[in-house]
Chain A
Amino acid sequence: MALLQIAEPGMSAAPHQHKLAIGIDLGTTNSLVATVQSGMSTVLQDEHGHALLPSVVRYKEDGNISVGLSAQAAQSSDPKNTISSVKRFMGRGINDIPDTTHIPYQFRDTGVGMVQIETRAGIKSPVEISAEILRSLKSRAEKALGGELTGAVITVPAYFDDAQRQATKDAARLAGLNVLRLLNEPTAAAVAYGLDNASEGVYVIYDLGGGTFDISILRLAKGIFEVLATNGDSALGGDDFDHRIFCWILAEAKLPPLNQEDTRVLLTKAREVKEWLSENSDAQITSVLSNGKLVNIKLSAEKLVELTQTLVTKTLNPTRKALRDSNLSIDDINGIVMVGGATRMPQIRQAVAAFFKQEPLTNLDPDKVVALGAAIQANALVGNRSENDLLLLDVIPLSLGIETMGGLVERIIPRNATLPIARAQDFTTFKDGQTAMSVHILQGERELVSDCRSLARFELRGIPPMAAGAARIRVAFQVDADGLLSVTAREQSTGVVAEIIVKPSYGLTEDEITNMLKSSFGLAEQDKQSRALREAIVDADRLIEAINAAILQDGHLLTADELTAIEAELVSLKNTCASNDKDKIVSSVEALNHASENFAARRMDESVKKAFAGQDLNKLVL
């Protein structure tokens, strides 16, 4: 008969109506799936008792696809068809990948959008490859839970932009998963520790994975986790510690440069030694190389600390920066959550404890904590949790806005707004008779379009011809609970609508994202000045446009001298606009205004005369 789980009071499901929900940590190196059973979040294991699924996909000769350990084992023998760390390419174009020369894959630049990888099974996108990993986790979960899944929560790094989030969501859909929500990884870790049950607090999530380091500072207030700051190092992880040990073995045993096989064997040894030394004081390294040479040396925990001290210190710089960005001091921190297998190393825990002057939370398995938190959230989202538990809300990581005249960004949804959210703002036309408007959607904290990330562009056509500034175009931004954006533009008088669902073609590197955030603080003053300059130029353009139109229409009202004077000022203003000197532009605008004062007055008189000509003064109703 069926196996039952214990439900919350009054929440028993009818037969065949169990709402099975899972949380997935889709990691760069390893992925996991977890679920809540009988009120307890547990990571699901495969048939062999492995919880971690290496995030490696291999397209085999026989047309089959292998995922996980078996794919990982074939990595050196079949590098071109065995894809690992595909998360780094999610939502990225070929130009976003820093250095493709060290990556064995054959990239295909499709011109538009995400980079593709050529395998023997054809050209695959990172989304398809990620979907294979998700499919494998999904089938594991279905076997373990004995039924169809209602939905899944998938975690993504806090700094993932819309393109990367959308790519993750697409991968899940491709794998046949119903995505309940995407959740930020640090938020998931905080949930696993039940930090969302507290009323408020500030928490640091220190995540040292296999190949990446992320630090996030979260503030919890009224059930909302706000990301105050993120920082990290995309090229620092547990693997670097293995490499330090490996280099030490080479030096200590006086080994010549090794072949690939021996390198792999010794790197694996190095990892085992590192793990062993987290709980023991000495380790013996014994290995026979392919040339028959015996390596037999001893490494003490003390020596390991010495070897890797610089790596540990390297994590503290981003930590310090994140703390600075959040404008907090270590006294404001209520707790530190350790995530990632590498945080098992005592020297890391000690360094973190010394930095924050408090012990970090370590009682949950740091490899599993993100998946556990995602499962708890998934369980709540499908409605298996009783009482009036607050559903956790996430926030938008970077502000969203549109481009306005002069290359400026008008922010519509500010950073850290809670999701879901909808905001609208009215815009107007710049030129007389303008019948179309281009809507350029941007994400970032800076003032100028060129400093923000372009997400998408679309055009609203069919605006009825009107004088500049008369049309009212309402641009509405809507971000759903996963942080995905749709934008509509509607001309209010005619109701013409254009809309777009932001499915951006490619993303930024994570360094660029963190840099964007940081630079918006550091360059605030410079941004303010650029904005003032652009605004002055827009003003000048508008004036030039208006005067030219006036001359065309009413030029006969001017004497030749007056016309020359105005034209001289027009030329001079056009020239100063090119100078990028805000003060000069402003004074030049004033000069032109002054030169055309009489002209404006005469035009006014003329139009009044025209309006009143032939009218009986007594019959005029004023």
Chain B
Amino acid sequence: MLSLVTFLPIALAVLVAVMPKDAARYGALAASLLVFAASVPLWFGYDPAGADYQFIEKHPWIEAWGVSYHLGLDGVSLLLVLLTTALTPLILLAGFSGVHEKYRGYAALMLALEGAMIGTFVSLDTFLFYIFWELVLLPMYFLIGIWGGERRIYAAVKLFVYTVAGSLLMLVALIGLYWAHYEQTGAWSTDLGDLLALTLTPDTQKWMFAFLAIAFAIKVPMFPVHTWLPDAHVEAPTGGSVVLAGVMLKMGTYGFYRFAMPLFPDAVTAYGPVMIGLAVIGIIYGALVALVQDDVKKLVAYSSVSHLGYVMLGLFALNVPGVSGGIFQMLNHGVSTGALFFLVGVLYERRHTRAISDYGGLTKVMPNFALIFMIMTFSSIGLPGLNGFVGEFMILIGSFQYSPLWTVAAATGVIFGAAYMLWVFQRMMFGPLQNEANRNLPDLSTRELTYLMPLVILAFALGIYPQPFLDRINPSVERFVARMEEHFDESPYSCGDACLPSWLSKETL
């Protein structure tokens, strides 16, 4: 089942690549819909009450090395897989107009990317995970490098340098783990379950965690390793930006959730405060820099830095509301930022500019576009009733339990978030329509509405009735938190009151 969902898109990618040119568009779309259809049974077949991995497939692979082909889903990876399979058809549909040349290649790479990303989310063997992780980079590199904007080479190289640097560190940490397993058990294994059973000294955990954390932090991206993202987003074609923001960034946060944190809980308690500090700096920094952008796509890119900061804050809150909120925020960000990149793409196709100052007063000529832009703006800034609020609130109420002051600092992000989004909205959508070039812009076409509406509906559904999703996330998160809590007592991170200044601690009252 999982193998099917993982490799179907890769197989279909090959098929699309050799399709007749005329059939490529609908062929690729049909292929991605087929993958989506294949993934839907996962939702229904998944038992929400079960905390353990489901749909497990485990076969020996390179037995001499202890490598197994081991796939499985928990509630978190289930939702990420579905997010991936749901976004891909929308991206391909949007590419009908945005991608003028070599659509076949574009679609084939997109499908291959989809398969690789699904692979990272379902792998329960570190070797397999590493292969998929590396595999993701290639299609993305070409998507930016071939279909990108003017500075596409610079952006692609930057993405590449950053990611490879991280990958190397990850590889070293994984090899270290591999070694440790041999030393302790006398057998080789790359299986996550086996590695989780190891007992590692805090010092060993610290360097391994640090290496993995850097690799994942680059992908997230966390401050200060975020600068590849704005360039990659600005130069990437619309679909590339959507998949980058919608799914690829979550590979980083997912890496923390699945590998870095459960494998090295003592290191988490040691480095947790640092991670929380960086997450909060990212929230505020990303928002402030977003505020001053002249390029709307760059603005949305920096907003991603801010939003992913919330996700990291939630994960390192290490309690159920915080972590569940963080996971939920990963979905939210896929929906709202994905939609915002689509919307920017719609404008770019019409006007071939991303400069905010080239627009203004668009509501007059593009009312439907403006409405959807507004809904996504408010989704992005966490208006209650839409999706963003649920995640943000759960993250903050969770992280407050451990780090009140950092949480209050993080909460200022809701002010800056409103400031940069509403300001850009006003500059582009409100005011008089002064630029003659915008006077005859057509409103959204049926095709554009078709790929935007699912995201609008999701924004409302996730905001008003998030519980079906949370029901699937919670048991897995509870297991995750329980594992972390085993290591809390002697850690400096489990400070509770001590995290507060003395005038605000429970004892002084």
Q: Do A and B bind each other?
A: no
A residues whose Cβ falls under 8 Å from a Cβ of B: none
Residues of B within 8 A of A (CB): none
